[in-house]
């Protein structure tokens, strides 16, 4: 990537090039949006504002599952079917960040070799940072940019599976949970929160060595799903099986997603969910901006280390320390 070409780029230049499908510009714009540097914040906001009216015309699919379930292999097989049917596919993969060194491997492109070289596909790995919910802080904004670039299907591969996956559920239209059979107590491993959020459960690695285990796990899960109340979207979650490695059962997943789209668009849930997601984005943006404003405040910066020392010495509780810091912050804001 030749970064020098972007030195004099305005937000309008970025928006125009992204709309024209320029992948280099798209990648650079996502980097700007993900940047924590103060100099990028205004430009990032202007790019998002420029792209927002041009976005929204995609199918957003979240894919999650435990490590080793074959998420990358599944997404590659799924993505190749979509591009063969003339869809443009953007894959936003979220890699876990180290709590110690804060780095990420970002190795998803090497795990999706075929899809990464497909002219109709775009793969963007992003570190999760300290963001919860299996996604990165700026995943929503990246979706907007990818839609502006003409990608009509956006796939988000989350960090992993757990109760915190509600974050990705709040930014996709369809939520897919990949599962393994024969690796322990499957129903215990799939927590209630995920069962309530998932629109389809797909048992991967359905091959000759594992077919019997998968049939048992599938039947158990289907029985369990009958115990849950009906969803407000009018959709009954399904249980499918596939072998992503052998590219078996992948088209059935796509057909099911199309059934879901038809039902939820007809009953109005599709549009209602998008509106609800925008409200969630709005509320999270308020929290993020307040957090940034708080930590960039000069008085807070001067007081923070002192309070941390007091907490470590147990001379003040974290609750009282946080309240006193907020009091300092509000007084400082009022004085201005």
What are the tens digits of pLDDT across the range 291-303? 888 988 999 999 9
> Does residue 164 have a pLDDT over 70?
no
pLDDT at 196: 81
Which residue bears the tokens 């009022």?
334
Confidence of residue 103 (pLDDT cuts 50, 70, 90): very low
Say if CB 64 and CB 165 are below 8 A apart: yes
pLDDT band at 49, cuts 50/70/90?
A: very high
* Per-domain boundaries in the chain: 1-54, 55-267, 280-335
Assign 3-state DSSP to the chain and report helix, strand, coil percentages, each to 5: 55, 10, 35
Looking at residue 210, its pLDDT comes to 80
DSSP, residue by residue, 41-95: HHHHHHHHHHHGGG---SEEEEEEE-TTS-HHHHHHHHHHHHHHTT--EEEEEEE
Q: State the fold for domain 55-267.
A: Rossmann fold (3.40.50)
Report pLDDT for 284: 87
pTM, two decimal places:
0.86
Domains 1-54 and 55-267 share a fold: no
CATH number of 1-54: 1.20.5.170
């Amino acid at each position: 990537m030749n970064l020098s070409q972007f030195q004099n780029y305005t937000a309008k230049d970025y928006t125009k090039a992204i709309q024209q499908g320029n992948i280099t510009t798209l990648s650079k714009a996502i980097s700007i949006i993900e940047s924590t540097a103060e100099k990028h914040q205004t430009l990032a906001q202007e790019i998002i504002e420029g792209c927002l009216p041009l976005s929204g015309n995609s199918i957003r699919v979240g894919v999650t599952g435990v490590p080793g379930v074959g998420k990358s292999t599944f997404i590659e097989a799924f993505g190749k079917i979509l591009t063969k049917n003339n869809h443009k596919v953007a894959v936003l993969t979220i890699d876990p960040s180290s709590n110690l060194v804060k780095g990420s491997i970002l190795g998803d492109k090497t795990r999706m070799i075929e899809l990464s070289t497909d002219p109709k596909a775009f793969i963007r790995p992003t570190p999760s940072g300290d963001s919860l919910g299996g996604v990165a802080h700026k995943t929503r904004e990246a979706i907007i940019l990818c839609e502006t670039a003409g990608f009509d299907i956006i796939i988000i591969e989350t960090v992993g599976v757990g109760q915190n996956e509600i974050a990705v559920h709040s930014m996709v239209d369809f939520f897919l949970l990949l599962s393994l059979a024969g690796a322990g107590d499957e129903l215990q491993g799939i927590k209630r929160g995920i069962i309530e959020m998932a629109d389809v459960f797909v048992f991967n690695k359905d091959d000759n060595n594992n077919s019997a285990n998968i049939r048992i796990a599938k039947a158990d899960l289907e029985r369990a799903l009958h115990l849950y109340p009906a969803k407000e979207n009018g959709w009954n979650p399904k249980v499918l099986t596939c072998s992503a490695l052998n590219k078996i059962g992948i088209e059935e997943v796509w057909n099911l997603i199309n059934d879901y789209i038809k039902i939820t668009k007809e009953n109005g849930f599709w549009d209602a969910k998008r509106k609800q997601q925008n409200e969630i984005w709005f509320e999270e943006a308020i929290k993020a901006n307040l957090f940034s404003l708080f930590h960039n405040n000069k008085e807070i910066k001067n007081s923070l280390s002192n309070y941390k020392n007091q907490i470590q010495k147990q001379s003040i509780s974290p609750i009282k320390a946080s309240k006193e810091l907020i009091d300092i912050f509000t007084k400082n804001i009022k004085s201005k």
